[in-house]
Amino acid sequence: MAPRLSTIAQAAGVSEATVSRVLNDVPGVSARTREKVLALVDELGYERPSKLRPKAAGLVGLIVPELDNPVFPALAQIIETELSKSSYTAVLCTQTRGGISEDGYIDMLLERNVAGIVFVSGAHASITASLERYGRLREAGLPIAFINGYQPGIDAPFISCDDVVAAGMAVDHLWTLGHRRIGLAVGQRRYVPVVRKQAGYESAMRANGTGFSAVAESTFTVEGGAAAADELIDQGCTAIICASDLMALGVIQAVRRRGMSVPRDVSVVGYDDSPMMSFTDPPLTTVRQPVIDMALAASRALLDEMHGERTPRAEYLFRPDLIVRGSTGAAPDPDGQQR
């Protein structure tokens, strides 16, 4: 929509002639007034004249595993916004079953001469994956940055949530509610975050004085959570910690299919604090990844790399937060009643 001079002039407190000079890039207007007028053009939803639009600095690849889990689009949106502030355009590459692989996306991005790539929970997160692809990118001088799934052999900055601490927080919360048979529902054990969550869970259980351990390996989906729940409930678990919020929703479904309820019979803890988790039934207790801080840190690390500033290669670990809601409660007595 073309800018209306009168609307912008009134909002900026200047004359229409001044607005016209700014939009036509005519000298004679102070830098402060020029910035104010252009800001109002953006805020009011008008399009700037093409010669006044920010010049694109280049393309940046953003590879995410999928968009079904709300945490991934949340990360992508923040990264995209942060890169745009430096005039970079993010190219979102989503991996789907049967679709383009991570290597395929890398080749496509290289053909488009991207200035850098951010990998979110990609192949690097698997302890069985080859890291050669990332070594080749670094040898070619391409800046790259990673979120979750730390691999010390990759020459790049890593941003991660502290999964060990996250699992420990969940165990301690449930322990204080009287639960002693606490289970863990996770995705495939080949992933670094899963290995860390299991380590944190087992360490916290030992620290609380019990040798009980029940870990169900499944997938990071609603269906995966339901399958894990059946296995853990059969082992007598009165509380289940999940590796994702989607898994937690599946656990709640499985509990209800058995004629039981959450949290009266089984308490459930998710992971991520995805949008809408406070509106589920019951509202989900979950461990919140600091998504905003992590996305900003990854974006800034990559920007520094693209601008020729080498960032530290150590892993940046971000501390999660436990968000207590209605899906956790006191452990049931042996007769099935809450304490």
List, in sequence order, every residue forming a beta bridge with 88; answer none if it has no partner. Answer: 58
The DSSP letter of residue 51 is: G
The C-alpha atoms of residue 128 and residue 130 are separated, in whole angstroms, by 7
pLDDT per residue over 249-289, tens digit each?
999 999 999 999 999 999 999 999 998 999 999 999 999 99
Q: Which residue has the tokens 């200047």?
A: 14
Residue pLDDT, tens place only, 44-101:
888 788 777 665 579 999 999 988 889 999 999 999 999 998 989 999 999 877 788 9
Structural domains in the chain, CATH included, are 5-52 (1.10.260.40), 58-161+290-320 (3.40.50.2300), 163-288 (3.40.50.2300)
Residue 42 has pLDDT above 90, yes or no: no
Task: Check residue 67 and give its pLDDT.
Answer: 87
**3-class secondary structure, 239:** strand
Contact assessment for residue 285 and residue 79, using Cβ atoms and an 8 Å cutoff:
no
Measured on CA atoms in the order 195, 197, 203, 205, is the torsion positive or negative?
A: negative
| CA neighbor of 332 nearest in space, from 254, 266, 248 | 266
pLDDT digits (tens, 9 = 90+) for 63-72: 999 888 899 9
**What integer best gives the mean pLDDT of the chain?**
92
Which pLDDT score is estimated for 133? 93
Yes or no: say if 267 and 328 are a contact pair by the CB < 8 Å rule: yes
CA–CA separation, 24 and 134 (whole Å): 46
Per the DSSP assignment, residues forming a β-bridge with 146 are: 119, 158
- Order across the sheet with 315-318: list the strands: 88-94, 58-64, 116-120, 144-147, 158-161, 315-318
Given pLDDT bands bounded at 50, 70 and 90, which one contains residue 336? very low
Angle at 249 between CA 62 and CA 224, to 5 degrees: 70
Q: What is the mean pLDDT of residues 328-338?
A: 75
Q: Residue 231 pLDDT more than 60?
A: yes
